[in-house]
Amino acid sequence: MIGFRPYRLKAKDEGEKPFWISYSDLMTTLMVLFLVVMSVTILTITQELLEKQDRLIEQQKELEQTNARLINQQLELAQAKIMMDSLKKTRDIRQQAINVVTEKLDESAAKDPFKGKIRVLRDPLVVDFGEAVRFARGDFHLSHDGAAILQAFMPEILTAIDAKGSEDWFNRVVVEGFTDSDGSYLFNLDLSLKRAQSVVCTLLAPAPGEFGLSREQQKRVQDVFMVGGFSFNSARSSKEASRRVELRLDFQTVEDHLAKHGHDLPAPSVEGLSPIEIGKCRLS
């Protein structure tokens, strides 16, 4: 019998095995690489997201700090506005107090026997007695007529500064004496001071004339009057007009007024004086 060699499929399957094994290894390797790449990518993306989150947190903190600063600034501005409004209101009240005194003095100066003799000046508030209170060259004594009009007008001044609405702001009356340009500086400085002192002596004279002040009025003069000398620093157009005295009315500043009424500003330190006798004038 002719021999017959059967076809062996097994040999063919064995020849294809290496191919399939290599393909599986390749796919496995690719899968591993894919997983590595994906892992790296995910880690990178995650890191970036964390960094962005940190930046957002920092920006949020900065925004909160900025908002806090803006709120504080708004509060400070609001407080500053309240303070400015309060200061403006206080200044207006102060000016109203000065206006009360000025109007009362204007009314008094328009009466007889003062009409045409006494002027009330503004900025600063000054009572000018004009020719009625003039001094002779080199002299500091008041004439009889000058002393009379000074004593007669003084109650008008005291009434004005003690009027309602002004008494809380009034500070003092400064008696300012002036001279002409004749003589030395120190001579005129002493002379102007004596002229101012002569006015106070006249007002506090123990035996006042027809228009003399009462004891209460003299006590008020003693409390609020202050003497100042100006030599010839404020000379007028003529030497006669320069030999004069003026009464300057001073009022508290807004700062002093607020300090006096218990605000945060420090109050000026002033020691109270015990009552003292008026005494006698030492001018001769």
Tell me if 118 sits within 8 A of 129, measured CB to CB.
yes
On whether the CB atoms of residues 245 and 199 are closer than 8 A, the answer is yes
- Partnered with residue 176 across adjacent β-strands are 228, 246
pLDDT digits over 195-227, tens only?
A: 999 999 999 987 655 667 888 999 999 999 999
pLDDT in tens, 23-81: 777 788 888 888 888 888 899 898 889 999 999 999 999 999 999 999 999 999 999 99
* Residue of 108, 113, 144 lying closest to 127 (CA atoms): 108
Q: What structural domains does the chain harbor?
A: 115-260 (3.30.1330.60)
Residue 19 has pLDDT above 80, yes or no: no
pLDDT for the residue numbered 231? 76
Residue 270: the pLDDT is 45
Reported in sequence order, the residue ranges of the chain that DSSP labels E, i.e. its strands, are: 119-121, 125-128, 170-177, 225-229, 245-251
Per-residue model confidence as pLDDT tens digits over 174-191: 999 999 888 899 999 999
Whether the pLDDT of residue 152 is over 50: the answer is yes
- Measuring CA to CA, how many Å separate 187 from each of 83, 112, 233? 49, 37, 13
